Structure formats: structure tokens, C-alpha cells
A and B are shown apart, each in its own frame.
Chain A
């Protein structure tokens, strides 16, 4: 046993000493890699670009975003292959179920006289009654318990909130919240 091991060891040692082929190396030149440019004085065009960039950084708020002018724009982005023809476009946009439909189930609200859908309640009248309920609930509510505090403690415990201009803007819900429009009124004179 011991003999055979020594023989193997010597063989392995001999193998390592044998001459080897050099390792294969394939190098593909990277076209996008930054090339080492010879440092020259900036040309006039480059100068103007730099100036432009500096300007942009200086007043970034008002400046228009710089449009990158690359040659690869048209090559790499997905774009439709052909122009959609007039007929195709009109066919798509004026499909039967995409058009506005007529409402034939219209009625008159018996309490306010405006138009409403049949078998549904008039939202205006419902909202008015709901608002009555809301005011009733507010009146019946108990006032929350208020502890009397030192002015100093008051300031410490309730420091108040400083609203950002955006929050202030959003507080005025009437400006941005979408509200239900009132339906048209059925005029007695017109309908006679």
C-alpha cells in the first residue's frame, strides 16, 4: 500500500512539472467603454456645453430639462412599425360600445322636480336629508373632556402643527374634490 502511494505522489509531481498550454483568453473590445482621450484644451463646442450645464445647475428651477442628443435614440427604443391608418384609428375609437349611450330610464324627482334615474333616489334630496342627520348627530354628541393646563404646559404638550404650503392648499377641499353635479331641472313652462 505505502509503495503505491509514493508512486502516485511522484507521478503527480511529474505532471505538475510538465509544460502546459497557455490559458485561452478572448477579449471582446467594449465599444461603450470610456476611451482614454488625449487631454487637450476644450474645443469651442465643448465649452458651450459646459457653460450650458453650469447654467442649468445654477438655476435648476426655471431651466428646461436638457434633451439628451444621442445617436442611439431611434435604434434601441420600441416604436410602432407602421403608422396607424386613418380608417383603423377611427374604427378603434368609434367602436359601438365606446360611444355615449342614451338614457331612456329618466324620471322626475317628486320632491325637487329635477331629473333623476327611475328606480333610484335623487342624490340631491338624499344628501340634504343626510346633512340633517349629520347636524342632529353633532348636536347630540358630548363635548370632549378638556383639562385645564398651565400656558407653559399647554405649549409643551400641544405644540401645534405647522402646515406646509402643500397641506394648506389641500385643506381647501372645494377647489380640488370632485363633486356630484346637480341634474337639470324639468321646467314646467318648457314641458307644457
Chain B
């Protein structure tokens, strides 16, 4: 009866601790709905509240959605960059960020066991997560992933976007910025403020970032802007400005995250 009460979101007032524990175990097994969150907000595990783009109480649907998300995250860690619809991209970003911040825990054994639940291909993904990615993001506190919007998909017109691991081998923003700098240098123009800001941000925490960026710029020159004379008219120049001037976030101050009391002790 209790189980049905939870399933249909009935407001059953339960005082005994045993029954509360039973609710909790049910929610852990089958995920949860919005209605259940209202019943016991403290006991819901973070990974089970993944109902943002569809709200459903059906356990089968929730399991399917979990598997989908696991697949997406696995693909992201394996290939460093994936293209999906925007809603899925945001969910994937959330889970991937959480997985990478797990690697920063002192107790690696529990961290691995927690990470196992959210990822397929354990033999391939877990060593990468706790080896390569942990080293790569040692200096970062958060923001390990980036979502870039794309044009809507052909066919069903669904909004698409790219999810990518920051400082990875397939970072679209890194490559596009290198292309922009290559074009400006080939045209003999000055690099504008926004691009300068982007270059600084992209190369700051990357392992030998500036050198990599330099080589990529030279490659882009060969790849796309070898013969500038032929398409000089088509390329943007200093006379062509964006309709709205880009505004940099100069007022934001970055503050270091305070260390947790438990970990330090």
C-alpha cells in the first residue's frame, strides 16, 4: 500500500521511522517524481532527480532515461565531444561535471564505486576518468565541460548543441578561436578584444596551451586561409562590425572555493 501511495503521489502522513526508510528505499530503486520530492526532500539521492526534461513516475521510463544518460556520458568521456539535442546536452554536462569532481575526493575507492553507477564500459572509462582527466583538471575547481549551441537539426528542427570536455583534444571553441586568429593574422588585422579574452581563457589552464594554440593557428592558415587574395572580399574585416558590440564580463570577480572542514581534518 505504501508503495502505491508513493507511486501515485498520494499524501500519506507517516510518522514511524520504519515506513520512512521504506519510502527511501523505494525511491532509491525506482527513481522519483515531483510529487515524491515534496514528501521527503532530504532523502532523495542527487543522481535520481534527473527528471528535468520529462517528468514521469513510471519506473521503466526512468530506467530507460538513466541508461540514455549513462550512454551519453560514456560517449562524452570516450570521445571528448558529442553533439546532441540541447536538453540532453545540459543533462550530460551536469552528470559529467559531477563525475569529474568525484575524482577530487580523498577516498578514491568510494569515489570509483560511486562513478561506476553512472557510466558504462568500466574498463575503458574509469581508468581514463581517474587517470588522464583527474590530472588534466587538477587546477580547476569546476567548469570541466562546455555546451555550445548549434543550428536546429535538419528533419525535426530540434535545437542541437555540442558538449565538450574543456582542454580536451576536440575542443570546438579552441579550434574555432584558432581559426579566427589565423584569419586575422593572414589579413594583417589586429586581434580584437573578445578574441584576445577567449584566447587567454582557453590557454590559461591547458598543459602547454600557448604552444598548442600557436601550432593550431599555423595549421588553420594552411587549411583555410592559404590564398587570402581570392576571398579577401568575403572575409570579415575591421570595417565590418557585429550588430551588437560584445560585452566582456569584467565586473565578475573569481573567488576560490572554501575548503571543506571534513576533508581537511
Contacts and interface: CB of A to CB of B under 8 A. Distances in A.
Interface residues of B, number: 27
Contacts of B237: 188
Nearest to A104: B243
A67 B230 CA distance: 62
A123 interface: yes
A51 to B, nearest CB: 49
A128 B172 CA distance: 11
Interface string B242-253: 111000000000
A129 interface: yes
A125 B179 CA distance: 9
B223 A132 contact: yes
B240 A108 contact: yes
B234 interface: yes
A106 B242 CA distance: 9
Contacts, number: 70
Contacts of B195: 110
Interface string A116-153: 01111101011011001100000000000000000000
Given A129-B172, A129-B179, A132-B223, A121 B148 contact: yes
A109 B154 CA distance: 20
Interface size bracket, A side: 20 to 34
A178 B154 contact: yes
Contact of B239 (A129, A179, A188): A188
Contacts of B224: 111, 128
A109 B234 CA distance: 11
B63 interface: no
Given A119-B149, A178-B154, A106 B243 contact: yes
A35 interface: no
Contact of A188 (B170, B175, B179, B233): B233
Interface in B159-190: 162, 170, 172, 175-176, 179-180, 183
B179 to A, nearest CB: 5
B18 interface: no
20 contacts: A108-B236, A108-B240, A108-B242, A110-B183, A110-B236, A111-B183, A111-B224, A113-B236, A126-B150, A126-B162, A129-B175, A129-B176, A178-B155, A179-B154, A180-B154, A186-B236, A188-B234, A188-B239, A188-B240, A191-B239
Q: Which 4 A-B pairs have the closest CB atoms?
A: A113-B236, A120-B149, A111-B179, A110-B180
Interface of B: 148-151, 154-155, 162, 170, 172, 175-176, 179-180, 183, 195, 223-224, 233-237, 239-240, 242-244
